[in-house]
Structure 1
Amino acid sequence: MTSKSGPKNHNNGKRLEGIRAYVKEVGSVGSTSALMGILAMVVGLVLIVTVSEAKTFGLAILILGAVVVSLAGIAARRAVTKSVTGRRGRYSANTLLMIISFLLLIGVLNFVFWDNPNRWDVTSTRQFTLAPRTLDVLANLETPVSAIAFFDRNDVDQRPYLEDVDNLLREFSVRSNKFSYEVMDPDVEPNIAKQYGVTSPGQVAFFVNDSDSFDVAFGARYRGRNPQTGDAIFDVNPSLEQDFVTPLLIVSGQEKKTAYFLTGHGERDVVDPTSDDGIFAAVNALTKENFDVRPLDLSQKKIVPRRTGDQPLEQDQVAPSLVIIAGPVKDLMDDEVDELTDFLEDGGRLLVLIDPGAPSSYIDFLSNWGVTVSKGNIIDEEDFLRPDTRVPFVTQHNTQIDITKGLERTYFPGVAAIQFDMASMPPVVVGGQILPQQNVIEISRTSSGSWLVDDLARSKPDSDLDRQGTFSTVVLVEDAFAPLDKSPKFIDPNSAIPASLVIIGDSDFVTNKHFNNASNGDLFLNSINYLTGDVSLINIRPKQVARREILATPNEFDVIRYTSWFVLPSLMALAGIGIWWVRR
């Protein structure tokens, strides 16, 4: 019997082949579309995360990519179902689940740390760790403070300096939600730069919003352009953090403290930066600590108590937070002694830098406040600045007092011993308590290899004439209710304001020649901040940048470069092939 279905079956076969070809084509297009969709989603995510200005565009690409992937999955649903339910699909599903779980974990951690920012400084010199005083200022900002760093981000000459400024300002903003900043090109926004008195790139303006209060600091000092290359020249600011805290204090409304340097007795020069014997560097550092530094001539000015400092002052009156006596060589007049005594009896704060062989009026004045200054100087044969034994290094500090915070070694080019005897201090009754009339505390002392030598010209001790021992070089007198020649029996704690003094047996250590060496400057500034009651201002100091460079010959550098380019990636690829071969 002859079959008549041949042509029909032939046609059906052609249709099946056409369907298979169509499905294959659809599958190919679907795979391509899925890959394009995934790529679009990745691009969208990258734009959202990295480019804040293109977040909307990135979101649109992300959604479009998700739609394309979904349509590709619907078009090739059979292939998708087979790949998911098959053995390979199960392995892929497990891998995909692990990837999704990892991404979700990263997302949760990112969310948690975004709301609770913590930064770790892993540099050896704690380069990005803010000083306690800086943290204190930021934590106590009552009004929002903003800053504008005037730099051109596109200028390669400015980028290294901008990076330092940007890092510090970002750390400020992380530590306080009341501080914000932005970077602005002064050439693009000249009117805003002019508004804050900015005349060159590298300056940073700090201001309070909706207020006329502002102050400008140097992030880097612009020196002009190189006439040969045209490159911009900047000087690095080594005390960046300190210089940024000062305008924060100013614009946030904190009142400046006034420090008066006594004049008229041959004291150290405070205005000449070129003189090795002057103390301009110390005065300059003090202004950066937000002090208003002024001279005090007691023949022309009268000191009034600090508690009346909020009242209008007469032209011949001053209400200092602190008086500093730095290396006098002429005696005080009797009325000047009375003036300083009244100042202390009213709760004044006094820093005395007294040299060996100082005028007798200062010796007598200080003895009335519980301390005796030696006539000679200290020679230390054990720990001294070579080659002069008359310049002792001091490393023994009283760590119970905040003055010594951050101190390491200080040295004194010719230092007197500061002596005191608490056992003989007369008692007074303060609010029912029996206390010493003055409390004298040793701050620093020399080593056991020290001698007290009366002859200032001698650098060798004489065991028959000189006394060996450890000697105090810095002392603190606090809770001083009255000078010893008055000796009151009862003190009213409601009206009495005890005085505080720091006496240092040398003034050379703070001169321009020595101020920035060892911890000399720190001792001076810490003493002042302690006396004025702002312990938190101890201690913001410039951090040393540790430079670590790889010194390699061209051949060694080529080995490092090609190893990182080819060897390590090749090892990773071989490891992957090995794993695939084992698990295939």
Structure 2
Amino acid sequence: MPKQKRARRSLVYGSNTFVSILVFLAILVFVALIAERHPLRVDLTDSGEFSLSEQSRKVVASLPEPVTIKAFFASASPEWLKTKDLLETYRYHNKKIRYEFVDPDRQPEIARQYEIRDYGTLVLEGFGRKETVLSPDEEAITNALLKLSRKEEKKIYFLTGHGERSLGEINKVGYSTVKSALEKENYAVDELNLMQREQVPEDAAVVVVAGPKKPLFPEEVASLEAYVKRGGKVVLFLDPGRDGGLKEFARSFGIDVGDDMVIDKLSRVFGGSYLMPVVTQYGGHKITDGFNVATFYSEARSVRPLEEKPEGVTVITLASTSENAWAETDLERLHKGEASFEEGQDKPGPVPLVVLAAVDSGKFSKVDTTEKPQGETGSAKASGHGEKDEDNVAHAAEAEPPMGYLVVAGDSDFVDNTHFGLSGNGDFFLNTVHFLAEEETLITIEPRKKEGQTLMLTQGQARLVFWVPLVLVPALVLIVGLGVYRVRRAQR
């Protein structure tokens, strides 16, 4: 009997132990599944270094469709882990965001497919679109997600009817590369014939006039002028000797288009001709912020800010040649190959080639309501809408009018099919369009500041900090050690 009882007892205890182990493992699996599906992250840093800003969280939470992010990094890159932590934070807030890392050296076919030129590039795909991020930080990624999810598609119009560059031509002088690049940036590109319209369409984000060979009609110029004055954005590419009748239009906004051609000796260093000035000097503006790549302009004219500018207009030089260039005014000698710099006649470098005018549309849209006809004022009061009209006028006065912009470049060749991919030409053009279309930065996120905190101690606290870790703890360890030594010696 005792043996049977012991066997039964062992079986019971063994079964209980086995069941307890199974229950414990089941609890672990259950907790792991919950943690996998509902992870909990706590950022204990004071600056929130490992958290997304409130703006980013709202954008990420509102994504209705999946987004895939491909991160192109070298496997041993120190930025790889940092970017992975950031992308994992985005995924934590929305499981519809997925990411994968691609090493361009090990998978060059994928890098070619996505036209990757630099390490650290992110490509976001979703909503049937694609966005490329060159700087893998929170601000750039959040803005790219906003662009992907936005249903509105901004429209870029190219003027036609005067011998301008054609968007459909795939030859050397065509603009098919420009059209393709803009469409990759999620813009809608279309042609605009102002001879068939009374004004520039309301959905126009930017209007580009690229190298007109024939002058525009006065009505067309008036339409462009009215468009800029009501907050529109216009880009003019005017080749030497052909201003398309737009010279006075540019001058009315503080920009002088020169009757000359720029010669640059520095071009020989880059293997070009004297008639292809190289630009490495850029003005201080959002378009050129951080832009340090050379751009090339084939047979360009000078474009300068006027000394006396109209009221409400601010003019900024965006791109200038080096001091080795000059603007040649004697074009006949130039065509004969006899051109040389002549003091007092030619304009020395640096020669400005691209200029931007910012136009305060409020200066051109002010309406003097104090000189309304008596009958009109009386009828408004009689109809009972006088107070509402006054409220509308006051509300309109409080609203900030939009800024109009005019960008003038002295060359249309620099973004044709031959030169668009040359150095920074295409990037400079796209930067300009992004700024004018208000796409350069949708959300601004301040960088996290890692600041140390000063620890202020009283005199008593300072003494305590000194005596406890430096004196009392070592002394206590020494006393315990001596006591153990004495005890062991006494037991021998």
Q: 1:448 aligns with which of 303, 310, 323?
A: 323
Specify the alignment match of 2:89 in structure 1: 174
Are 1:283 and 2:161 matched, yes or no?
A: no
SS in 2 for 1:440: strand
Structure possessing the higher radius of gyration over alpha carbons: 1
Q: Which moved more, 1:376-385 or 1:386-395?
A: 376-385
Distance 1:168 1:265, change over 3 A: farther
Are 1:533 and 2:448 matched, yes or no?
A: no
SS in 2 for 1:444: strand
Q: 1:269 aligns with which of 156, 166, 169?
A: 166
Distance 1:182 1:418, change over 3 A: closer
Q: Which amino acid aligns with 2:312?
A: Q
Specify the alignment match of 2:63 in structure 1: 144
CA RMSD in angstroms comes to 4.7
Residues 388 and 459, structure 1, Cα contact 8 Å, conserved in 2: no
In 1: Cα distance, 2:416 partner to 2:57 partner? 32
Specify the alignment match of 2:255 in structure 1: 371
**CA offset digits 1:446-486 (Å, max 9, x no partner):** 11111211326366632346332321111110035499xx9
Q: Which amino acid aligns with 2:171?
A: S
CA shift, 1:343, in A, is: 0.9
In 1: Cα distance, 2:402 partner to 2:181 partner? 29
Q: 2:125 aligns with which of 232, 239, 244?
A: 244
After TM superposition, the structure 1 = structure 2 runs for residues 45-444 of structure 1, keeping only pairs within 5 Å, are: 56=29, 140-141=59-60, 143-147=62-66, 172-175=87-90, 177-181=92-96, 236-239=113-116, 241=122, 244=125, 246-247=129-130, 248-249=145-146, 252-272=149-169, 274-303=170-199, 317-384=201-268, 385-422=270-307, 424-426=308-310, 436-444=311-319
Are 1:512 and 2:422 matched, yes or no?
A: no
Distance 1:255 1:382, change over 3 A: same
Are 1:457 and 2:457 matched, yes or no?
A: no
Distance 1:237 1:370, change over 3 A: same
Q: TM-score, normalised by structure 1?
A: 0.50
CA shift, 1:388, in A, is: 0.3
Residues 321 and 351, structure 2, Cα contact 8 Å, conserved in 1: yes
Distance 1:149 1:475, change over 3 A: closer
Specify the alignment match of 2:356 in structure 1: 476
Distance 1:278 1:170, change over 3 A: farther
In 2: Cα distance, 1:444 partner to 1:453 partner? 18
In 2: Cα distance, 1:138 partner to 1:516 partner? 37
Distance 1:463 1:252, change over 3 A: closer
CA shift, 1:511, in A, is: 1.0
Residues 168 and 241, structure 1, Cα contact 8 Å, conserved in 2: no
In 2: Cα distance, 1:325 partner to 1:333 partner? 14
In 2: Cα distance, 1:515 partner to 1:282 partner? 7
SS in 1 for 2:162: coil
In 1: Cα distance, 2:67 partner to 2:304 partner? 52
Distance 1:252 1:111, change over 3 A: closer
Q: Which moved more, 1:451-460 or 1:251-260?
A: 451-460
**CA offset digits 1:188-246 (Å, max 9, x no partner):** xxxxxxxxxxxxxx9xxxxxxxxxxxxxxxxx9xxxxxxxxxxx999521157456384
Are 1:524 and 2:429 matched, yes or no?
A: yes
Residues 145 and 179, structure 1, Cα contact 8 Å, conserved in 2: no
In 1: Cα distance, 2:48 partner to 2:184 partner? 32
Unaligned regions of 5+ residues in structure 1, if any?
Answer: 1-47, 49-54, 60-108, 120-134, 152-159, 161-166, 185-201, 203-219, 221-231, 305-316, 427-435, 539-584
Residues 302 and 352, structure 2, Cα contact 8 Å, conserved in 1: yes
SS in 2 for 1:536: coil
Q: Which amino acid aligns with 1:327?
A: G
Specify the alignment match of 1:499 in structure 2: 404
CA shift, 1:175, in A, is: 4.2
In 1: Cα distance, 2:299 partner to 2:56 partner? 38
Distance 1:338 1:182, change over 3 A: closer
In 1: Cα distance, 2:402 partner to 2:323 partner? 37
Q: Which amino acid aligns with 2:355?
A: V
In 2: Cα distance, 1:347 partner to 1:513 partner? 33
Q: Which amino acid aligns with 1:244?
A: E
Q: Which amino acid aligns with 1:445?
A: S
SS in 2 for 1:425: coil
**CA offset digits 1:367-387 (Å, max 9, x no partner):** 222111112210011355424
In 2: Cα distance, 1:403 partner to 1:281 partner? 22
**CA offset digits 1:331-356 (Å, max 9, x no partner):** 10111111111111211111111111
Residues 473 and 504, structure 1, Cα contact 8 Å, conserved in 2: yes
In 2: Cα distance, 1:110 partner to 1:355 partner? 59
Q: TM-score, normalised by structure 2?
A: 0.58
CA shift, 1:265, in A, is: 1.2
SS in 2 for 1:476: strand
Residues 237 and 412, structure 2, Cα contact 8 Å, conserved in 1: yes
Q: Percent identity?
A: 25
In 2: Cα distance, 1:487 partner to 1:472 partner? 31
Tell me how many residue pairs correspond in the alignment.
345
SS in 2 for 1:321: strand
CA shift, 1:407, in A, is: 3.6
CA shift, 1:417, in A, is: 0.4
Residues 324 and 352, structure 1, Cα contact 8 Å, conserved in 2: yes
Residues 282 and 288, structure 2, Cα contact 8 Å, conserved in 1: no
In 2: Cα distance, 1:370 partner to 1:512 partner? 31
CA shift, 1:360, in A, is: 5.0
SS in 2 for 1:270: coil
Distance 1:172 1:283, change over 3 A: farther
SS in 2 for 1:528: helix
After TM superposition, the structure 1 = structure 2 runs for residues 15-34 of structure 1, keeping only pairs within 5 Å, are: none
In 2: Cα distance, 1:282 partner to 1:453 partner? 30
CA shift, 1:416, in A, is: 0.9
